[in-house]
Structure 1
Amino acid sequence: MTELRQKRVRLAVRWLFTVLIIGFVIRSVDASALWQELAGFSPYVLVPALVLTVVQVALSAWRWRYTVERLGLPLDYGVAVREYYLATFLNQVLPGGVLGDVNRAWRHGTGAGERLSAVHGVAIERFSGQLVLVVVAISVAWLLASGQLTTGHWNGGLWLGVGILFVVVAFWLALKVGIADYLQRLRRDLYLSLLNRMVLPVQIGSSLVVLATYLGVFLCLAWGADYLDTAASVAIIAGLGSILLLSMVIPLTVAGWGIREGAAAVLWPMAGLPAEQGVALSVGYGALVLISSLPGMVFLFTGRPENG
């Protein structure tokens, strides 16, 4: 009972922390300008944006199936899509942004009778996507720093904020992988499902396409708000969106809320754009992703998947 109470307290603290960060961000920008930006979003972009999220889940589920099959575990594609929707929903409503994936690994491992390979399969599948995201985000940050991806003057003093973001994310990823990196089993599984020359191009290619769907959602929202008037504006919004996605990897809040909006408030002025525009896009993105994850509720109380 005490342990359950402690978990509830930690959950409440995480939600409170998330709300406090969002409140701080809203107070840090022009609130009236922010509401004006939010009101400017067109409802007509919801359809293409939600279609992109369906493609996103379908591709991610395929990548997961491809990864675990390299480890010798069967996974029906329909089951993979179902479980990915469930994991996405749980990641949206539970703190840390990874508990849905933990549940996905446990359910698959229980159904397949091999839990360690199932855990490695989910971890490697997620790592594949995060690795591509880090490379893209670093490239965008370099373009920002060199002044090649701005609409105004680069504020060099704010570069420290981006640097801190990358350090925190890199430390977290290194810690997560480093804890078990010494294990021979993990090294073997990394080679089989990610690092060998036949598999790596498939992993990188599929992760790039998945990332493109994430950025496509940002662009749909930006298009509906009339932020995209030139090819340069498309490149800037997509580039900044990749760094926002990277900020969400930091597991301090619920589904990245607060961290993402704070990063937007810092990044948009760095590219010569109003902070309110970035925060509005971030809020719109978070709301749309939450809506797109709702099909996962259907599978919340189903039993573990049967794999074949």
Structure 2
Amino acid sequence: MTAPTLPTAPAAPARDRPATPRPDTAVGAPAARRRALRAHLGTLVGTAVLAVLLWRLGTGALLDGLRRIDGPAVLAALGIGLVTTVFSAWRWALVARGLRIRLPLAAAVADYYRALFLNAALPGGVLGDVHRAVRHGRSAGDLGRGVRAVVLERAAGQVALAGAGAAVLLTMPSPVLAEARRIAPPAALALLGALAVVLALRPNRAPVRRGRALRAVLGEARAGLLSRRSLPGVALSSVVVLAGHLTLFVLAARVAGSTASVAALTPLAVLALLAMGLPLNVGGWGPREGVTAWAFGAAGLGADTGLGVAVVYGVLGLAASLPGAVVLVVRRPGARYARSPSEPSEPSESLEPSEASEAVTVAAVSSAKCSPKESARLASSSFPFSADPSEGRPMTPESV
């Protein structure tokens, strides 16, 4: 006599089973919150700097600087902006070519103008660069290389600014001349020591995968910036762009009523440009105004005048980027660059500016997960990038 068998409950359909959270999603949520917190913190710091300046110095200098801006000043800013934008776009195209991604100069100029306008109009000051990086990468069929091309292009500009700034601040009279000369030798020794330690420990301690990634990054940096085809153009364009920014600062000083010589204004302009690189601003406003007001006050030129110069510089910089607003309106959000016939067909999408800050992290993760075979296949294909727009589907950060 056999024991009766108990009926078993049918297995729940797969769609009714509780979904197990993905490990990468659980890990990525705190990182996304930290990135959002840093972005909001930068905006708050920039707003606080502006509030303190207006509280201490009043609104007189700000309003007086705005009243002094006239048509000739705006036209001059547009001319300077045209020169700096064209050379910046040329530098970007050279770096992209070094990474084996085609980028026509006309398309690069249009995208660069749009990025400048978005940087000036949106908080953070980098969303325009994120937009052009993701758009170019997706249009070229290699998101990782598109992002790295923009990162290397921006790094080249920052290196040029840091080198010229160090030379100016160490040789020309400025409020930080004595402090810069005191800090420069130990800072240089510390940098050399840190580099020696890294080189000594890297062969023994660095994991194989990390070492390969580091070699790949250094190889792309050499190809994009330091090769014989790229280095002369990158250096020349960086010098011209930096000279354009300094010229715009001198123009802003003249419009604001400052009669200081160009030699006296140059180190102050370098300090202002270095402050603009801090990620603690609201569309570029905040640290620039604070540092410029302090530098002018320390140089005996008046903190009020410094605040007025910074405000005029910000307005003229926004005016110089206004062609980017035209590009933003004329070029459809779904527009993409046509691929070469040898490139596999794939829907190309564009990034909305409001979603750019989240997409840059997704782009970095996507590039890190790209297999060597896939990168080699994309690198060996013919140039997949041209300036012919066509319709596409709007892109969300999840689709990156």
For the aligned pair, the TM-score class normalised by the smaller chain equals 0.7 to 0.9
Q: Equivalences for 1:92-241 in 2 at 5 Å? A: 92-144=120-172, 149=173, 159=179, 183-197=214-228, 199-228=230-259, 233-241=261-269
Q: 1:91, 1:101 within 8 Å by CA — same for their partners in 2?
A: yes
Pairwise CA RMSD of aligned residues? 3.3
Amino acid at match of 1:223: R
Deviation at 1:143, TM superposition (A): 3.0
The structure with the largest alpha-carbon Rg is 2
Listed one character per residue, the Cα deviations across residues 50-98 of structure 1 (whole Å, up to 9, x for unaligned) are 2111111111111111110111111111111111112112212333322
Deviation at 1:36, TM superposition (A): 4.0
The separation in 2 between residues aligned to 1:14 and 1:29, in whole angstroms, is: 22
| Matched position secondary structure for 2:335 | coil
Q: Is 2:47 aligned against 1:23?
A: no
Deviation at 1:134, TM superposition (A): 0.7
Q: 1:247, 1:256 within 8 Å by CA — same for their partners in 2?
A: no
Q: Is 2:303 aligned against 1:303?
A: no
Q: 1:96, 1:254 within 8 Å by CA — same for their partners in 2?
A: yes
Amino acid at match of 2:279: P
The separation in 2 between residues aligned to 1:134 and 1:117, in whole angstroms, is: 25
Q: Is 2:281 aligned against 1:274?
A: no
Deviation at 1:31, TM superposition (A): 4.6
Deviation at 1:125, TM superposition (A): 0.8
The separation in 2 between residues aligned to 1:155 and 1:70, in whole angstroms, is: 38
Q: 1:222, 1:281 within 8 Å by CA — same for their partners in 2?
A: yes
Deviation at 1:101, TM superposition (A): 1.2
Q: 2:92, 2:153 within 8 Å by CA — same for their partners in 1?
A: yes
Q: Is 2:273 aligned against 1:242?
A: no
Amino acid at match of 1:205: L
| Matched position secondary structure for 1:95 | coil
Q: Are the structure 2 counterparts of residues 195 and 155 from structure 1 closer, same or farther at C-alpha, using a change threshold of 3 Å? A: closer
Amino acid at match of 1:183: L
Q: Are the structure 2 counterparts of residues 196 and 13 from structure 1 closer, same or farther at C-alpha, using a change threshold of 3 Å? A: closer
The separation in 2 between residues aligned to 1:91 and 1:110, in whole angstroms, is: 20
The separation in 2 between residues aligned to 1:184 and 1:8, in whole angstroms, is: 31
Q: 1:37, 1:276 within 8 Å by CA — same for their partners in 2?
A: no
The separation in 1 between residues aligned to 2:231 and 2:302, in whole angstroms, is: 39
Amino acid at match of 2:126: V
Amino acid at match of 2:247: G
User: Which position in structure 2 is the counterpart of 1:49?
Assistant: 77
**Which has the larger helix fraction?**
1
Amino acid at match of 1:191: R
The separation in 2 between residues aligned to 1:85 and 1:302, in whole angstroms, is: 18
Of 253, 256, 264, the match for 2:284:
256
The separation in 2 between residues aligned to 1:155 and 1:83, in whole angstroms, is: 37
The separation in 1 between residues aligned to 2:269 and 2:293, in whole angstroms, is: 12
Of 281, 290, 314, the match for 1:286:
314
User: Which position in structure 1 is the counterpart of 2:366?
Assistant: none
Amino acid at match of 2:230: V
Unpaired segments ≥5 residues, structure 2:
1-28, 192-197, 199-209, 339-384, 387-400
| Matched position secondary structure for 1:72 | coil
TM-score normalised by the chain length of structure 1: 0.79
Q: 2:119, 2:284 within 8 Å by CA — same for their partners in 1?
A: no
Q: Are the structure 2 counterparts of residues 136 and 303 from structure 1 closer, same or farther at C-alpha, using a change threshold of 3 Å? A: same
Deviation at 1:289, TM superposition (A): 1.6
Deviation at 1:244, TM superposition (A): 0.8
Q: How many residues are paired up? A: 282
Listed one character per residue, the Cα deviations across residues 206-264 of structure 1 (whole Å, up to 9, x for unaligned) are 101011111111122223344246xxx11222331122111111112223211101111
Q: Are the structure 2 counterparts of residues 228 and 43 from structure 1 closer, same or farther at C-alpha, using a change threshold of 3 Å? A: farther
- Aligned-residue sequence identity (percent) comes to 34
Unpaired segments ≥5 residues, structure 1:
172-177
Deviation at 1:11, TM superposition (A): 6.4
